[in-house]
Amino acid sequence: MGNLTTLNGNVSGITDAGNRDHNEDNCLMMKIDDAYLLAVADGLGGHAAGDVASGIAVMKLEEFFKEQYSEDMDDEQIKDLLCNCHERINDEVIQASVGDKQGLGTTLVSAFVRGNKAIIANTGDSRATVVGTGIKFRTKDHSMVQRLLDRGMIDEETARYHPMSHIVTHSMGNQFDVDAYETEIDEEEILVLSSDGLHDHVGKSVLVESVAYQKPSEIVKYLYKKSLETTTDNVTIVVYKP
């Protein structure tokens, strides 16, 4: 098991190779004033040096966000800032994609969380999910399977086992796009940021069950343990609880 990190009792996270030899995921957990900047990045399988790409994503997110952030920004300004960070990170990944690192690519889901409000930006198929008695909110993946879901051709359960589940349609370094969201996290709910090593292998019922563990660190441990039962991928999980 990788190192479990906890911030102020509200945030906990882990990134681990899971059932693989090498970890190409990275995560960010940072306190800013009375808020948190959180992120999960998954270096794309089959791409050169996926861990380099995901490392660039989280390192540059921290750098670029801190450069431009001010405490008096409203939600729309935060949303614009996160999207701008994603755009700049895409440029950084492309610039680093030379020589033996040709073809660098990574996903990135980032969240700025203050109290019960979350501003989220997403590129790729890493995911942000608000969980309580059910799944209240989740980001839409940039993936072939998400397109099939949107067209009503498959359901969520089928999507987890679909043979095209690994095909990402947008990423840092390749056909970039970014979506932005706002959502709320109530007192008995949690925000989960994850790589597909978790959400492609753990169903809705497990996510809902995890909320009963109350502490973010215990929730992360539970989700990590459940993911290892079936995952064939790296596993990265960040949990926020108001």
| Measured distance CA(123)–CA(63) in Å, rounded | 18
pLDDT along the chain (242 residues), means of 10: 87 91 93 97 74 94 98 97 99 89 91 98 98 97 82 78 79 95 97 95 94 96 94 94 96
Q: How far is CA 124 from the centre of its chain?
A: 9
Helix (H, G, I), strand (E, B) or coil at 54: helix
pLDDT of residue 199: 93
Domain boundaries, the chain: 5-240
pLDDT of residue 210: 98
pLDDT of residue 108: 99
Give me the residues paired with residue 160 across strands.
none
| Measured distance CA(127)–CA(62) in Å, rounded | 19
pLDDT of residue 18: 84
Which are the contacts of 157, defined by CB distance < 8 A and separation ≥ 6?
A: 203
Helix (H, G, I), strand (E, B) or coil at 207: helix
How many beta carbons lie within 10 A of that of residue 237, not counting itself?
30
| Measured distance CA(103)–CA(65) in Å, rounded | 25
pLDDT of residue 133: 96
CATH of the domain spanning 5-240: 3.60.40.10
| Measured distance CA(117)–CA(203) in Å, rounded | 25
Q: Two tokens at 143?
A: 């993936």
